[in-house]
């Protein structure tokens, strides 16, 4: 049988639990003398460990040996958390859901994968080589070959279960004419944003303002110093908020931002359509900014949608930064 999404033949189920134990030990041995990758450092997904692991767990069959090995792995290794998205036409989203859920469960990953005809948005966590094995498989689909997840680390699994859902939009805006897959709004690198904020203007001397496109409770956990905050309660309120405040943004360079960049993909396009000329999005959002330049010009942490609640500028869990009622 040929995989309907990737065009590859699926890996065969494990004939017995002993093979799983052997492959886990092989993976641990291959990695024993390798320090964990630092945040932002890409591990070669062609290495033996992630690839062998992905093959070993291509079947969703679970055994007591697998569960025992997984508990041991989780107790001695940090958990790799990844987030990524891509706006790309996915007419086969329903079929893709079944495939990705099977792969994630086979690798004992937890988190959420959202699929829609407009693209994919995912947050996953698990032992490093299992996560990298999943990403390697994802790269096997040409539509996702250029996906480069943002990474952070935690001591424990921040998700309770594995979900994979098909939605109308991977980030709901209720504005169907906004389709990032047809063309992105201009993005600016985190280092450039820092430089602009350091000097107080962009490279053309135009005043720079930062615009937070997130919900109010997310902003309360931390944001850029002096950022514009419209106290949104949901992203579908953003289009009207732009119309109401458009005059305040004219003649300025607007740098929009959100957690990982996905909301700004739509927000920046909308602002351009409404006639605001100098609008950018931070490439990779707050998490990428933290990863590349740290917490300069930023106060607090970044709200995340898992049990960590928030991460600080070092991408470490910082739940104390979040209002307990949020």
Q: Which residues are catalytic?
A: 258
Q: Measure the N-to-C terminal CA separation of the chain; round to a whole number of Å.
A: 47
| Closest alpha carbon to 91 in 137, 143, 146, 139 | 143
Instruction: List 121's β-bridge partners, or say none.
Output: 85, 114
**What angle in degrees, to the nearest 10, is found between the helix axes of 238-249 and 262-273?**
60
SS3 content of the chain, % helix, strand, coil (to 5): 35, 20, 40
Question: HSE-up of 180 (CA within 13 Å, CB side)?
Answer: 28
Distance separating alpha carbons of residues 40 and 54, to the nearest angstrom: 22
Give the other-Cβ count within 10 Å of 196's Cβ. 21
**Strand-pair category, 187-188 with 279-282:** parallel
H, E, C per residue of 125-148:
EEEHHHHHHHHHHHCCCHHHCCCC
């Amino acid at each position: 049988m040929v995989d309907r999404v990737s065009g590859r033949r699926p890996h065969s189920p494990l004939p017995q639990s002993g093979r799983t134990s052997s492959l886990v030990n092989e993976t641990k041995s291959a990695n024993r003398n390798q320090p964990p990758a630092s945040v932002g450092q890409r591990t070669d997904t062609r290495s033996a460990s992630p690839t062998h692991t992905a093959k070993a767990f291509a079947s969703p069959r679970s055994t007591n040996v697998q569960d025992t090995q997984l508990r041991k792995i989780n107790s001695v290794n940090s958990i790799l958390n990844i987030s990524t998205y891509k706006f790309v036409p996915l007419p086969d989203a329903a079929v893709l859901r079944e495939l990705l859920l099977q792969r994630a469960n086979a690798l004992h990953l937890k988190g959420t994968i959202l699929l829609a005809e407009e693209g994919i948005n995912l947050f996953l966590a698990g032992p490093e080589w299992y996560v990298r094995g999943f990403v390697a498989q994802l790269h096997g689909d040409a539509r996702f070959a250029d996906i480069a997840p943002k990474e952070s680390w935690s001591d424990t699994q921040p998700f309770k279960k594995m979900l994979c859902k098909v939605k109308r939009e991977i980030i709901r805006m209720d504005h169907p004419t906004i389709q990032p897959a047809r063309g992105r709004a201009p993005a600016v690198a985190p280092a450039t944003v820092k430089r602009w904020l350091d000097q107080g203007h962009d490279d053309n001397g135009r005043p720079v303002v930062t615009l937070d496109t997130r919900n109010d409770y997310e902003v309360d956990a931390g944001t850029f110093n002096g950022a514009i905050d419209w106290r949104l309660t949901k992203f579908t309120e953003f289009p009207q908020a732009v119309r109401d405040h458009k005059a305040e943004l004219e003649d300025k360079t607007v740098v929009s931002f959100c957690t990982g960049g996905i909301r700004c993909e739509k927000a920046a396009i909308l602002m351009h359509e409404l006639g605001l000329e100098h609008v950018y999005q931070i490439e990779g959002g707050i998490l990428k900014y933290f990863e590349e330049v740290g917490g300069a010009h930023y106060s607090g942490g970044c709200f995340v949608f898992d049990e960590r609640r928030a991460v600080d500028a070092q991408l470490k869990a910082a739940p104390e930064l979040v209002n307990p009622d949020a």
